[in-house]
Amino acid sequence: MALDIEIFGRTDVGRVREDNQDGFLCLDLSQSAAAPPPFPWFLAVADGIGGHTGGAQASDLAVRTLEQEIRAGLAGPEAADPPDLLERAFQRANRLIFETASKLPNSAGMGTTLVAALAGTKSAYVSNVGDSRAYIVRRGRLYPITQDHSWAAEQRKLKVLTPEEIERSPFRTLVTRSLGYENDLKVDTFQVELQPGDDLFLCSDGLYGRVSEKAMGRFFRKTRRIEDICAGLIQAANENGGPDNITAVVGRVGDSGGRPRHSMSGTIRMKPFQPNQG
């Protein structure tokens, strides 16, 4: 059976911020390729760090650089392996942001989180730095792919502080890894298998910080169109205060007739992937 993927993304400034420092990509790479690439869909979410100018510029640099690198990497006669391509794209974006921050006045602390996925109909490669997240949604249940690089995530692992103490801490929003912080960057990459009916879901912390995973799952169970899912999730985050920018990106695996079939399996097969460092 032929499969296809629907893709859609939406971002919102929220209820408190004056500007939107989030950025996202939803690309169908098959439209510009001479031959259909094995991973034709590219999704990404970036959440800028470093104030009004620096954060917005960093997230913009990240998504623009990723698009350039991914398109170039898939355009040659021998396309790069997806994990290597993602690694190179992240590293180049990091260097550009780092160099830009070192040259511009008042750009100290300029950076961005970044989560990105190269997806086919049977599997996807997902890379992340920072605390923007990627999930697989299967039968309305969210399965995390990425792990947050944040102070709060580290404290939850240590189990020294209670969830309430973590939430009250002034460090609760501190990101421990980001693009632009230093010249060397550690990127986490995962390979995940996809099934018909799966949703590949990327979002910034402005969404999951205000809407629980259980509540997000209800939107995927009850709402058919991915455009309406993104809109509903953003509305829910705003109704819960909307203190940050909010971004949601969804890629849905379905058949060529556009009617996804839901798998009866709840098992997500996923493994960390270490790109070549040649």
Which pLDDT belongs to residue 69? 94
| Banded pLDDT at 264 (limits 50, 70, 90) | very low
Q: Which domains does the chain show, CATH number per domain?
A: 3-252 (3.60.40.10)
More confident residue, 108 or 175: 175
Q: Tally Cβ neighbours within 10 Å of residue 147.
A: 14
157, 159, 160, 163 alpha-carbon torsion, rounded to 10°: 100
Q: How far apart are CA 171 and CA 174, in angstroms?
A: 5
| pLDDT confidence of residue 150 | 92
Over residues 41-52, the mean pLDDT reads 89
pLDDT in tens, 80-93: 789 999 999 999 99
